[in-house]
Amino acid sequence: MQWDAAIDAYAAHLTDVRRLAPATVRAYRGDLRDLARMAERGGALGPADADLEVLREWLWRATQRGDARSTLARRTASARAFFGWARERGLIGTDPTPRLVAPRRARTLPAVATADGLRAALDDLKADAAGADPITLRDHAMLEMLYGSAIRVSELTGLDIDDLDRARRTTLVRGKGSKERMVPFGVPAEEAVNAYLSESRPALLARGGGASVGGALFLGARGARITPRAVYTVVAARIAPVLGVATVGPHALRHSAATHLLDGGADLRSVQEMLGHASLGTTQIYTHVSTERLTAAYRLAHPRA
């Protein structure tokens, strides 16, 4: 089987069987197409013709282009997963990737706002939203939900009204791979969402001129389901000053919520479940954030530091 056919079949497997998110499938496909172009120039017309030297050459060229270590690590993972699948399907006789070494990824800790800083920012937005226009009411509700439930921006924009259980203050969230989980949110988020639903959403819905939005919880300025890009704009305007950076996205609220949960005594497994992480190792990054914050406070405050 030649490269294009094999990559298409693998992408279908990722979508239909593993149920990965479209963006993840696109990333795998892009990595493998890049490998295929280089391999074909060297005479390897299909996966069965590719050996370890071909793969090493591919990664070396990416290194010469200046690709980040995180990109090289992702490419290595893409190749390993693809050739493992091809071996199981009988498309290749030998998997060349077991000896393919991925560069060690540099640890980068996520940007996290202080609890006091976020509390002040959200309180200011609540004051601005009191009796204000529908957009400000909506923005307040969205930021309270992002921080209060630690969900991803894609999960927020995918929420429907029926997903909310306001009596229990929980919401059904559809995460990566269409996996569902129940996530709690707090009283401030409940109050902000209730105000939005009663005072803001009907006005935004009317702007759509009767266009069907289903049960979408959060609506954009024109009455359609809000997009992740619009949420990014809101977060950048309201949260970037708290972090003291030029730009920041919704994930900063998720990072902050996870770190504050651990700082407050939540156990790692519970935070993993709330975040929807498949691996506990992914959640453990927040323990490093908490440790670094504690170390920094110690060095500033302890007379024998």
Catalytic residue among 87, 119, 176, 293: 176
* CA distances for 25 relative to 6, 44, 174, 276, 305, angstroms: 14, 23, 18, 19, 48
Pair 134, 204: CB distance under 8 Å: yes
Distance between CA atoms of residues 282 and 268, nearest Å: 11
Known active-site residue 251: yes
Distance between CA atoms of residues 147 and 199, nearest Å: 22
Angle between helices 251-263 and 134-149 (to 10 degrees): 50
Tokens of 139: 């923005």
Distance between CA atoms of residues 117 and 244, nearest Å: 11
Known active-site residue 126: no
Known active-site residue 179: no
Pair 195, 134: CB distance under 8 Å: no
* CA distances for 195 relative to 53, 137, 227, 293, angstroms: 61, 7, 21, 35
Catalytic residue among 152, 225, 255, 260: 152
Owner of token pair 């156990």: 267
Known active-site residue 254: yes
Catalytic residue among 10, 147, 196, 286: 286
Tokens of 269: 């497994």
Known active-site residue 232: no
Known active-site residue 140: no
Catalytic residue among 140, 254, 255, 260: 254
Distance between CA atoms of residues 261 and 213, nearest Å: 34
Catalytic residue among 80, 174, 251, 293: 251
Distance between CA atoms of residues 97 and 82, nearest Å: 10
Catalytic (active-site) positions: 152, 176, 251, 254, 277, 286
